[in-house]
Chain A
């Protein structure tokens, strides 16, 4: 029982970067902007979040910095694709490169090359009064860091927004048929910009979570492909906030099993376990991808003046 509680607590803890990065991806995708720079934005968010927290001495400021960097990348993505009509995937790759490059460059410039990296304090647990006292559920659900609560709340809010408000109806229309949305006076460009920016911010925050919760410091390529996995999760979650939230539990569960198998005491060479998250994701894709419902204009730019040939 103790092991199960520990496991589930870890799953909820590890779900956060998946939820944030995936909801960020989903948000942009709902208006047709397909971000593939997650891995780069997350690394930049991790690096910058760590550096700013370290310099300022405040994790919250670090998170804001990571979000700002992510938002800036989202803005660039929107500008290059929506305004300049450049290929979304290629621009996403370019931003990925820049994010990766900056993530290792910045620590070298600011801290220099050190043997033992400096540490920042990790995010504290926030116990919710009363609720945290519930047996079993209490420690799992209500003794977590603030971003665990935030990511769950965010998912619920996004769901309500997309499916129960007029703006949400309009927003989804942009991703399904931008020309139709435009012809009814819905501002396609504005919708694409703000979802890309907010989505980028969430992805940046997802990156900042890694040093702030797992390691206390930034190490090169510490995302270990979580950005790419988040894309897979978004497809798996059918580009819908609540399914993404539940799907992230699965992704986090696999990760916990693989990266923290020692906790449970599995006697395999650890390299085999390291392969598991990626192979499991591919398997999940095989099982579910064909049924996945994707916004019809995902990844496609909209040009009002393009002639119908």
Chain B
């Protein structure tokens, strides 16, 4: 209990300091800080709708964060979760549109699987470039995001375009590909179960299995791991492909659960938030879902704040980035 307190305390301080710093700024801009922070922190818990909105954000955020922390466990940085999610979404939508007449028993798994595989493939590309040519994965994963932006634009403005929509959007996928609802009003789809199961599975894998141990050893010192018989290049590839699959799953859940179609820009800023979550969690796969929930609360609150108080949502993003910075700083403080 004592150690748990010692782990959480720096987080609480970091959050408090970040809020205080931004609060001064908000006040200086002439806004009502008290109301702003009430909105940010409490919107998720005031109404059922707010809470479900939070859960809906929680799903892609958790998956994006894991898509960052899983390779990080092996010492690799995946900044390509955005592209992997987009490509996953594209594949899910494509399957859902092409096979729209199939019954749910077949179509739904197909849609989800298509997203997972496509995301994995988008992770495999940088992994292969790393394996074969030793290319730094940071740059290749980032650059592939930009390729995917053009790709989704191509699909969303192509033959499947929903011409009634103002924004580049495809037509709806077949009903059989929709994730069943857990609650109808306000709507909560069953993707949440998938996300929680996946997060638990990742944690068990990395902390209990031999494969997970090899992943950890690779991340701790790839050279030593290699000298003692671990095929680290394979671990790199595996971790990046798994990350791509996780981000791809996020994409197919967005398509199958939330939008039921492909929308350009549906990846939102989940990548950057996922990175922030992963870094705040210090790469700890167990902590990721909890941090993701916290960030989801802030994000839902931020939208409400912009609607009701006209304070830009980016203000909350600055809070999140500062929380990260102060959490990192707490390490330095502890070292001294």
Contact = CB atoms under 8 A, between A and B. Distances in A.
Contacts of A97: 272, 275-276, 317, 320-321, 324
Contacts of B133: 285-286, 289-290
B147 A89 contact: no
A91 B147 CA distance: 26
A194 interface: no
B162 to A, nearest CB: 18
Nearest to B139: A232
A86 B332 contact: yes
18 contacts: A90-B279, A94-B324, A97-B320, A97-B324, A98-B318, A102-B318, A108-B312, A228-B142, A228-B143, A231-B139, A271-B153, A272-B150, A274-B150, A275-B147, A278-B143, A281-B143, A282-B135, A285-B133
A-B CB proximity, top 9 nearest: A105-B314, A274-B150, A271-B154, A278-B143, A108-B312, A101-B317, A271-B150, A97-B321, A225-B146
Interface string B95-139: 000000000000000000000000000000000010001111011
B328 interface: yes
A232 B135 CA distance: 11
A279 interface: yes
Interface of B: 29, 77, 129, 133-136, 138-140, 142-147, 149-151, 153-154, 157, 272, 275-276, 279, 312, 314-315, 317-318, 320-322, 324-325, 328-329, 331-332
A145 interface: no
Main secondary structure of the interface of B (DSSP, over half): helix
Nearest to B336: A84
Contacts of A285: 129, 133, 135-136, 139-140
A90 to B, nearest CB: 6
A104 interface: yes
B318 A105 contact: yes
Nearest to B319: A101
Given A90-B328, A286-B129, A289-B133, A275 B151 contact: yes
A93 B134 contact: no
**Main secondary structure on A side of the interface with B:** helix
A89 B331 CA distance: 16
Contacts of B142: 225, 228
B322 to A, nearest CB: 8
A101 to B, nearest CB: 4
Interface string A105-140: 100110000000000000000000000000000000
A205 interface: no
A222 to B, nearest CB: 13
A167 interface: no
A175 to B, nearest CB: 18
A290 B133 CA distance: 8
Contacts of B318: 98, 101-102, 105
A75 B112 CA distance: 46
B321 A94 contact: yes
Given A272-B150, A285-B136, 11 more contacts: A84-B332, A97-B317, A97-B324, A98-B318, A104-B314, A105-B312, A105-B318, A108-B312, A232-B139, A274-B153, A281-B143
A249 interface: no
A224 interface: yes
Contacts of A272: 150, 154
A36 interface: yes
B87 to A, nearest CB: 13
B272 A289 contact: no
Contacts of A85: 332
A261 to B, nearest CB: 13
A286 B135 contact: yes
Contacts of B149: 274
